[in-house]
Amino acid sequence: MSSKNQTDNQLIVSAPPHIRDIENIPRIMWAVVLSLIPAGIAGVLVFGYYCLYIVSLGCITAVITEALILRLRKLPVLNTVKDGSAVVTGILLAYILPPSVPWYVPVVGSFFAIAIVKHTFGGLGNNIWNPALAARAFLQVSYPAVINSDWRILQHGVGNFAHNITSVDPEGKFVDAITRATPLAKEAGAETYHFAQLFLGNVPGCIGETSAIALLLGGAYLIYKRYIKWYVPAYYIATVFIMVLILPSQIATPWAKNPFYHVFAGGLILGAFFMATDMVTAPLTRRGLVIFAIGAGMLTALIRFYSGYPEGVCYSILLMNTATPLIDRFTKPRLYGTKIKKV
C-alpha cells in the first residue's frame, strides 16, 4: 500500500466531546433577545415609550461595563461583547423594573450585574447567581422607595382611574398616566384584575412581566429551538399552582387562593421561562433541573403567602441558584461501568 493510501485510510480522532452542534453562545443569546421582544413591545404599549429609554440604558450600560471589565482583565473584548450575553442581562434587568424608575436605576443595576455578579466570579459561565435577578435584589435594598412605589400605567390602558399623574417620556413629552397597586398587592381592598387584563398585560407592574401572552410566545420559541427545557417552567408553574391550593393563606384579598391568578400575575412566567432556565446558574442534569424548578415554585408560594413582600420569583430563583452546586453534587449521573456505592 502506498504512503498516500495509508494516509487516506488513517482514522483521526480528535479530543472529546465527539458529538458537536452548530449552536453556540452568540446564536443562543441573540435568540433569547429575539424571544424577549414581544414582552418589550407589550410593555411600551401599556406603559409608554419611557420603557424603551430604561431598556436602552440597561443594555448600553451592560455592554460598556462588559467591555471595560474584559479590557481590565486583558481578555478579548470584541467577540465576547458580541456574544449577546450582556445585552440579555440588560434587557432582563430592565424588564423586572417598574416602568417609571429614574435613569440611574438601570445604570447602577446593569453595572452591578456585569461587574460584580458576573465578572467577580470569572465571567460568563462562572457566575453563581443570575446577574439580572441579583442586580434586582441589590436595587431593592439600595432604592426601596423607588422600586416599591409609583407603579404607572397609561391613561388609555385601564379606565376609571383614581389618581391621575403626568409621566415624561425620553423626548420630554408629557403622557397621562396613573399610579396603581401591583396585581399582587396584599393590602386590604387592593384591586383584583381580570384574567383578560393579566393575559394581555393591561395591568400595572414591571416593564416586561405584565403580558402573559407575549412571554408565552417568547418562551415557546425558545422551547421550539431547544434552547431551554420545557419541563423547567412546567414544574415551576405547576408547583406554584399546587402550593396555592394546599397552603393556608393569610392574605385578605379575593385572589389569594386562586392559583390561576398567581400564575398570570407578577413575574412568574418571566422567571419560569427566562431566568429559571439560565444554563449557567441552573443544575446540569434533568433530575437536578426538576428539583430546582420545584424548589423555586415552593419558595415563590411561601414568600407570596407569608412574607411582607408581594412577589417571590426573584428571591426564590436566587436561593435555588445558591443551592445549584449541592443539587449537582447529588444528582450527577453514574459513570458508565462503575457501581453505585452502598451507604
For 279-289, the pLDDT digits (tens) are 999 999 999 99
The answer to whether residue 125 is domain-embedded is yes
For 76-122, the pLDDT digits (tens) are 887 777 888 999 999 999 999 999 899 999 999 999 999 999 999 98
Helices 85-95, 25-47: crossing angle, 10 deg rounding? 30
pLDDT of residue 153: 59
All three cell numbers of 131, joined, read: 446577574
Q: Count of domains in the chain?
A: 1
At residue 266 the predicted structure's pLDDT band, cuts being 50, 70 and 90, is confident
- Predicted structure pTM score: 0.84
pLDDT of residue 275: 95
Tell whether the model's pLDDT for residue 151 goes beyond 70: no
Q: Which amino acid, one-letter code, is at 252?
A: A
pLDDT of residue 130: 95
Please name which of 81, 69, 89 lies closest in space to residue 130, comparing C-alpha atoms.
89
Contacts 24+ apart (CB under 8 A), 63-66: 63/87, 63/90, 65/110, 65/111, 65/114, 65/115, 66/114, 66/118, 66/119
Dist CA 162 CA 180 (whole Å):
9
Tell whether the model's pLDDT for residue 180 goes beyond 80: no
At residue 294 the predicted structure's pLDDT band, cuts being 50, 70 and 90, is very high
Cβ-based neighbour number of residue 75 at 10 Å:
12
Tell whether the model's pLDDT for residue 38 goes beyond 80: yes
Residue 6 or 128, more confident? 128
The answer to whether residue 60 is domain-embedded is yes
The answer to whether residue 248 is domain-embedded is no
Tell whether the model's pLDDT for residue 196 goes beyond 70: yes
Dist CA 255 CA 188 (whole Å):
12
The answer to whether residue 269 is domain-embedded is no
The answer to whether residue 172 is domain-embedded is no
Domain extent, residue 89, equals 25-147
At residue 236 the predicted structure's pLDDT band, cuts being 50, 70 and 90, is very high
All three cell numbers of 175, joined, read: 403622557
The answer to whether residue 114 is domain-embedded is yes
The answer to whether residue 205 is domain-embedded is no
